[in-house]
Amino acid sequence: ETGVTQTPRHLVMGMTNKKSLKCEQHLGHNAMYWYKQSAKKPLELMFVYNFKEQTENNSVPSRFSPECPNSSHLFLHLHTLQPEDSALYLCASSPWGGGGPQETQYFGPGTRLLVL
């Protein structure tokens, strides 16, 4: 496996379900990110982890709960979602989480989520 992988690629869930999204990076990076991508809207940064510590939480509703057990793995736990949460959820990683060209973010293929 290389790069950034995400599972599942597609997910349909009801509003009362609990599910988890998984992200794994094989790049040796120390920063990992969760983004939400909705049609025709900018990428929305949800959470950032740097060396397993959460450094950013962009006012994300508590029905989204991140977990980062180590620098290679990132989870997004979903609970009692709303239909407006339907979107593409992208995971990314970067070497250190700072600025500059060396901080290029590498993205996974995303999980397409549909909440019914």
* Among positions 28, 41, 53, 83, the unique one binding another protein when judged by CB under 8 A: 41
- Any contact of residue 105 with another protein (CB under 8 A)? yes
Question: Measured from the CB of residue 91, what is the shortest distance to another protein in angstroms?
Answer: 9
Contact between 55 and 97 (Cβ < 8 Å): yes
Candidates 9, 6, 19, 27; CA nearest to 71 is 27
* Among positions 1, 28, 40, 62, the unique one binding another protein when judged by CB under 8 A: 40
- Any contact of residue 99 with another protein (CB under 8 A)? yes
What is the DSSP secondary structure assignment for residue 91, as one 8-state letter? E
Q: Looking at 31-109, which runs of residues are DSSP E strands?
A: 31-37, 44-50, 53-57, 64-70, 73-79, 87-94, 106-107
* Among positions 25, 50, 93, 111, the unique one binding another protein when judged by CB under 8 A: 50
Question: Which residue number, 16 or 59, has a Cβ lying nearer to another protein?
Answer: 59
- Any contact of residue 93 with another protein (CB under 8 A)? no
Q: Output the CA–CA distances (angstroms, integers) from residue 37 to 53, 89, 109, in the order listed.
A: 23, 6, 12
- Any contact of residue 68 with another protein (CB under 8 A)? no
